[in-house]
C-alpha cells in the first residue's frame, strides 16, 4: 500500500532542493516573545515557494498552522520546543503569508498540500519528522498520515479530530443541509463574495472577529452583513495589538482568497480521496482540544472522540486531552501547556 501511495503521489511529492538564499533574521513585532533567533528562508516544494521559520537543533518538528493563521501562530511553541532540544520548522502554507498563492480552488486539494509537506520534509533531509498541527493544518496533517505514514514518526493534533470520508455525501452539501447557507464554510464557497465582505469590513476587523471568536456554537456570517468597519473588538490577554498588526500585514499582502480556497476545495478532495474511504491512520497520535472549541461541540463530535469512533480510524491514538475553559486557538491561548503536551508525547519517539 505504501508503494502504491508513493507512486500515485509522484507528481505531487517530488523531492525539491532547498533554495540557496541565506536565511534572514526574523523581524517580529513582539519582542517580548523572544523570537530573535528565529531564521527565515524559502524552499521550493511541489512547484511552489514555501516560506519557513526555523529555530533550534535536534529532532525535527514540523508545525502546521490553520485559518486565518501563519507560521507566527506557533511563535511560542517555536521558542519553547527549540529550548527543549528540537529543530522546529513552521511553514506558511501555500496561499498564506510569504509563500506562493496559487489561484483557484483546484490548487488546494489534499493531494496538493500533502505534496507540499512531503516535499518540505524531503528538503530537510529527513526520512521522518515529528508533526504537530492546528485547525486546517490538522486536516492536512491527517491526510499526510493517511497518504504517507512513512514520513511521520508521531503526530500531535490540536482542535480538529479525524474526519473519515463519508462516501454518501459531499462535505458542502452536508454542511449546508445541517447549518444553512449562512454557516461560515458555506459562505466561503462562492469566489469573490466573502472577499468583498472582508474588504468592506477591513482586514483588521475580520481577523479580530475570527481570532477572538469564543462561542462553542456554530459560526455564522450573515448575508445581510457581518458588522461594521468601526466595530471595536477587545482582544484577549493572549493576543496583542502587535500580533494583530503582523497578521494584518501579511493578509493585506496576499488577500484572503488563497486561504479560503482550502474550504472551496473540500468537495474536490472528497472526490479525489475515494480510494481511501474507510482507511485507517496508523501513526502514534495525541489529540488535544479545548472544551469551548466549536469543533469539539459540533454534533456528534464528543461521542466520536470519546466513545471509540476516532480510535477505530486512528488505531494508534495514544491520548486525548480536553483542556477546560479553552477555545479554538488553543496553541496561542495556552502556549506553555501546549508546548509541554507536545514535548511529553514527542520525547517518547
Residues identified as active-site: 135, 263, 328
The position carrying cell 538564499 is: 21
Beta carbons of 147 and 155 less than 8 angstroms apart: no
Q: Name the nearest CA neighbour of 273 among 140, 87, 97.
A: 140
Tell me how far CA of residue 199 lies from CA of 196, 216, 246, 257, 330, in angstroms. Answer: 5, 26, 18, 12, 27
**H or E stretch including 189?**
none
Q: Would residue 47 be called left, alpha or beta, if left means φ above 0 and alpha means ψ between -120 and 50 degrees?
A: left
Residue 219 to residue 97: CA distance in whole angstroms: 24
| Cα(140)–Cα(137) distance, integer angstroms | 5
Angstrom CA distances, 255 to 202, 251, 258, stand at: 11, 5, 7
Q: What is the 3-state secondary structure (H, E, C) of 93-146?
A: CCCCCCCCCCCCHHHHCHHHHHHHHHHHHHHCCCCCEEEEEECHHHHHHHHHHH
Amino acid at each position: 500500500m505504501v508503494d502504491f501511495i508513493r507512486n500515485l503521489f509522484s507528481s505531487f511529492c517530488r523531492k525539491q532542493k532547498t533554495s540557496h538564499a541565506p536565511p534572514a533574521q526574523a523581524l517580529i513585532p513582539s519582542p517580548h516573545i523572544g523570537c530573535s533567533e528565529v531564521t527565515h528562508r524559502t524552499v521550493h516544494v511541489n512547484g511552489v515557494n514555501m516560506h519557513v521559520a526555523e529555530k533550534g537543533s535536534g529532532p525535527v518538528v514540523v508545525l502546521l498552522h490553520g485559518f486565518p493563521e501563519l507560521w507566527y501562530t506557533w511563535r511560542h511553541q517555536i521558542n519553547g520546543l527549540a529550548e527543549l532540544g528540537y529543530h522546529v520548522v513552521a511553514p506558511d502554507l501555500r496561499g498564506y503569508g510569504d509563500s506562493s498563492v496559487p489561484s483557484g480552488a483546484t490548487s488546494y486539494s489534499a493531494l496538493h498540500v500533502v505534496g507540499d509537506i512531503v516535499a518540505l520534509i524531503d528538503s530537510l533531509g529527513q526520512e521522518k519528522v515529528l508533526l504537530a498541527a492546528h485547525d486546517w493544518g490538522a486536516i492536512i496533517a491527517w491526510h499526510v498520515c493517511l497518504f504517507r505514514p512513512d514520513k511521520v514518526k508521531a503526530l500531535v493534533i490540536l482542535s480538529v479530530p479525524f474526519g473519515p470520508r463519508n462516501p454518501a455525501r459531499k462535505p458542502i452539501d452536508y454542511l449546508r443541509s445541517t447549518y444553512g447557507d449562512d454557516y461560515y464554510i458555506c459562505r466561503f464557497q462562492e469566489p469573490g463574495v466573502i472577499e468583498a465582505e472582508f474588504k468592506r469590513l477591513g482586514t483588521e476587523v475580520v481577523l479580530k472577529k475570527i481570532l477572538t471568536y469564543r462561542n462553542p456554537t456554530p459560526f455564522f456570517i450573515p448575508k445581510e452583513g457581518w458588522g461594521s468597519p468601526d466595530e471595536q473588538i477587545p482582544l484577549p490577554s493572549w493576543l496583542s495589538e502587535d500580533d494583530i498588526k503582523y497578521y494584518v500585514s501579511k493578509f493585506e499582502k496576499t488577500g484572503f482568497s488563497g486561504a479560503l480556497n482550502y474550504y472551496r476545495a473540500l468537495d474536490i478532495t472528497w472526490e479525489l480521496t475515494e480510494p481511501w474511504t474507510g482507511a485507517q491512520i496508523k501513526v502514534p497520535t495525541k489529540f488535544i482540544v479545548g472544551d469551548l472549541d466549536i469543533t469539539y461541540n459540533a454534533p456528534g463530535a464528543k461521542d466520536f472522540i470519546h466513545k471509540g469512533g476516532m480510535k477505530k480510524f486512528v488505531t494508534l491514538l495514544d491520548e486525548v486531552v480536553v483542556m477546560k475553559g479553552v477555545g479554538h486557538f488553543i496553541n496561542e491561548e495556552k502556549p506553555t501547556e501546549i508546548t509541554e503536551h507536545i514535548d511529553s508525547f514527542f520525547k517518547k519517539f
